[in-house]
Amino acid sequence: MNGFIKKTAAALFSGAALLTLIGCQHYRDVVDSCWPERYNDLARKSVKHMHNAQSDKGHLLDHTLWTGDFDGNDLKPSGKAKLKYIANREPVAVVMKVWLQNADDEAPAKRANVNADRKMTITAFLDTQKSEGRTALYEIEVHNYTQPTHPSDWTNKALKNLETNIEGGKAQKFESGPSSSSGGSK
Round the average pLDDT of the chain to a whole number and report it.
Answer: 81
* Residue 114: band (very low, low, confident or very high) from pLDDT cuts 50, 70, 90: very high
Domain annotation covers residue 45: no
Residue 92 lies in a domain: yes
In a domain, 119, yes or no: yes
How does strand 95-101 pair with strand 74-75?
unpaired
Q: What is the mean pLDDT of residues 71-82?
A: 93
Query: Mean per-residue pLDDT for 54-71?
Result: 91
Structural domain includes residue 19: no
Range with the lowest mean pLDDT among 19-28, 29-38, 169-178? 169-178
User: For 68, which DSSP code?
Assistant: G
Q: What's the pTM?
A: 0.59
Say if 150 falls within a structural domain.
no
Residue 91 located in a structural domain: yes
Where in the sequence is the domain holding 92, given as residue range(s)? 53-143
CA distances for 32 relative to 20, 42, 148, angstroms: 20, 15, 47
Instruction: Please state the domain count of the chain.
Output: 1
Please state, in angstroms and rounded to a whole number, the distance separating the CA atoms of residues 35 and 133. Answer: 52
**Residue 109 domain flag:** yes
With 80 as the cut, is the pLDDT of residue 136 above it?
A: no
Q: Which residue has the higher pLDDT, 162 or 45?
A: 45
Does residue 162 lie within any of the structural domains? Answer: no
